[in-house]
Amino acid sequence: MGPRAPLLLLLLLWWSGPLGGQQQHLVEYMERRLVALEERLAQCQDQSSRHAAELRDFKNKMLPLLEVAEKEREALRTEADTMAGRVDRLEREVDYLEAQSPALPCEEVNEKAPGGPGAKGKGRRNEKYDMVTDCGYTISQVRSMKILKRFGGAAGLWTKDPLGPPERIYVLDGAQNDTALVFPRLRDFTLAMAARKASRVRVPFPWVGTGQLVYGGFLYYARRPPGGPGGGGEPEDTLQLIKFHLANRTVVDSSVFPAEGLIPPYGLTADTVIDLAADEEGLWAVYATREDDRHLCLAKLDPQTLDTEQQWDTPCPRENAEAAFVICGTLYVVYNTRPASRARVQCSFDASGTLSPERAALPYFPRRYGAHASLRYNPRERQLYAWDDGYQLVYKLELRRKEEEV
């Protein structure tokens, strides 16, 4: 090599140094860009996964709501159809009544009377009742008694819905209140702090008395009509029946009970103004009026419309009566003394005429000296749910065929 070779090598090394550094910076720049792109792609994937999860949760939440909305829509449609049918029926009845008995000119009509607007038909009176089921049983004896607990005041009601969930308990404390307690199971009601386990259902109008009834998912109870005595409203002795939907918590129907001069039916239980009862045949009402203030009356009600289908004047006296219940179309009246002693069924009335008073058993209740504020018969269990001076009792009944001899 010549003397110029080292000089050439130095020149080549000098030029190759800057080119190598630029390539290295370019590679590092590309690597940083790729890392940034990967991070953004990862963020997009996380956001997409999160949005997909939120959409799934939203869908899972909306599906039950849509199902509930669909059920409510169907229920509203059914209720609207029912109301339309009732309106058509009422229009036909009004047309018929106008054709049969047109109003005289200049005749004043008292719309506040129990027979005016808002009152249901009185129905047939003292006619034989035609059974709608094959139920032919009568009470033979009150077999046993169980004291569940003591809850609430001296007057009240506890019961089950004979057509509803078999374990659910309804407690209505007091002769005038607007809040019912609902327990999912009997065991929850028997706990020491039972009220904490209960759900509360508030009705829009306070009930009066201890004659309420839970039947078919509805609470039937009586209230004083608006206005009251001296206020230009209904008379003091008039009652309005309310049909309250327990699930929807709405008033489904109401009716002024078609009886004038109502008085408490039981001589020993002044808190009861009208006593609603249910049996295998449906819905009944025990009441009394000033027209015959010595005896009880019985009415058969339509649970759908609150119409009074039939009424009877019974031979059962009001004096010393404390409660009553109905089994297979037969009214059983429980009597006691003041001060309270051992209660006994001393009068029965079969609306169908199958069971004569001579062949009816008149059993004593198990030995306990108390006073029944209310009695509720459960046809599914054949038991009586009693409220006795704040104690909640259960009586097991023994039944027999009406045709059998005592």
The strands making up 213-215's β-sheet, listed across from edge to edge, are: 213-215, 218-223, 240-245, 250-256
The reported pLDDT for the residue numbered 4 is 60
For the residues 207-222, what does the mean pLDDT come to?
96
Which pLDDT does position 190 carry in this prediction? Answer: 87
* Mean pLDDT of all residues in 185-209: 89
Residues 192 and 56 placed together within one structural domain of the fold: no
Give the span between the Cα atoms of 277 and 31, in whole angstroms.
86
User: What is the share, in percent, of the chain residues with pLDDT greater than 70?
Assistant: 82
Task: Indicate if 197 and 71 belong to the same structural domain.
Answer: no
- The pLDDT of residue 3: 56
Residues 73 and 150 reside in one and the same domain: no
Angstrom distance (rounded) from CA 335 to CA 322: 6
Regarding whether 292 and 177 lie in a shared domain, the answer is yes
Poorest-pLDDT segment among 111-120, 181-190, 297-306, 336-345 = 111-120
**114 occurs within a structural domain:** no
Q: Cα separation of 384 and 295, whole Å?
A: 24
| Pair 33, 178 in one domain | no
* pLDDT confidence of residue 25: 80
Q: How many residues does the chain have?
A: 406
Q: Does any domain span residue 35?
A: yes
Both 148 and 264 in one domain: the answer is: yes
Q: pLDDT for 60-99, tens place per residue?
A: 888 899 888 888 888 888 888 778 767 766 665 565 555 5
Residue 402 has pLDDT above 70, yes or no: yes
Domain ranges, residue 276:
137-227+234-401
Q: Is the pLDDT of residue 284 over 90?
A: yes
Evaluate whether residue 297 is within a structural domain: yes
Task: Assess whether 32 and 175 both reside in one domain.
Answer: no
Together in a domain, 147 and 256? yes
- What is the value of pTM for the model shown? 0.70
Let me know if residue 331 belongs to a domain: yes
Across 368-379, average pLDDT: 89
CATH number at residue 272: 2.130.10
* 371 lies in the same domain as 304: yes
237-280 pLDDT, tens digit each: 789 999 999 999 999 999 999 888 999 999 999 989 999 999 99
Residue 144 shares a structural domain with residue 76: no
Q: What CA–CA distance (Å, rounded) separates 207 from 223?
A: 5
- Residue 3, preceding bond cis, omega within 30 degrees? no
Residue 215 lies in a domain: yes
Q: How far is CA 52 from CA 38, 49, 258, in A?
A: 21, 5, 62
Same domain, 358 and 220: yes
Residue 107 counted as domain residue: no
For residue 157, pLDDT over 70 is answered with: yes
Burial label for 22, CB within 10 Å (0-12, 13-18, 19+), is: exposed
pLDDT at 217: 95
Residue 13 pLDDT grade (very low, low, confident, very high; cuts 50, 70, 90): low
Range 148-152 average pLDDT: 90
**Overall number of domains in the chain:** 2
pLDDT of residue 375: 96
**Judgement on whether residues 182 and 315 belong to the same structural domain of the protein:** yes
Tokens 């200049």 belong to residue: 106
288 lies in some domain: yes
> Across all residues in the chain, what is the average pLDDT?
84
- 8 within some domain: no
CA–CA dist 367, 151 (Å, integer) = 21
Query: Domain ends where: 49, 83, 117?
Result: 83
Based on DSSP, count helices (H) and strands (E) in the chain, helices before strands.
Answer: 2, 22
Q: Name the band, by pLDDT with cuts 50, 70 and 90, for residue 232.
A: very low
Q: What is the pLDDT of residue 20?
A: 62
